[in-house]
């Protein structure tokens, strides 16, 4: 939703303060999923997961996310279709 509303930002800044305040309050009432998008909660959980990890645990989680992203590209982007799925970071190199 923020991407959609961004084009109206200049108009918003020119509104009188009471109108801006009212619109801000209404915007805050919207569910976070509407405001920030469908991936908001998954990214929030990912951040919470990383906060509690030590350096080795964070590196392991980063490698898992990298493999997930690479394999997703292999499955969905035509340029990478000829590559085989990666099972470890060593396969990626």
Q: Read off the pLDDT of residues 7-23 as tens digits, 9 standing for 90 and up.
A: 989 999 999 999 999 99
pLDDT exceeds cutoff 80 at 90: no
pLDDT exceeds cutoff 70 at 93: no
pLDDT exceeds cutoff 80 at 1: no
- Note the pLDDT of residue 36: 84
Q: pLDDT band for position 27 (50/70/90)? A: very high
Strands (DSSP E) found in the chain:
none
Burial of 45 (0-12, 13-18, 19+ CB in 10 A): exposed
Rounded to the nearest integer, the mean pLDDT of the chain is: 87
User: Which residues fall within 8 angstroms of residue 34, CB to CB, at 6 or more apart?
Assistant: 1
Sequence spans of domains, the chain = 2-36, 53-92
pLDDT exceeds cutoff 80 at 62: yes
Per-residue pLDDT, averaged over 50-68, amounts to 90
């Amino acid at each position: 939703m923020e991407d959609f509303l961004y084009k109206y930002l200049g108009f918003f800044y020119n509104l009188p303060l009471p109108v801006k305040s009212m619109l801000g309050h209404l915007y805050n009432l919207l569910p976070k999923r509407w405001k920030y998008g469908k991936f908001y909660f998954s990214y929030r959980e990912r951040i919470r997961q990383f906060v509690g990890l030590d350096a080795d645990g964070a590196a392991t989680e980063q490698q898992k996310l990298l493999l997930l992203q690479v394999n997703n590209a292999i499955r969905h982007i035509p340029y990478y279709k000829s590559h085989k799925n990666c099972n470890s970071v060593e396969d990626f190199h």
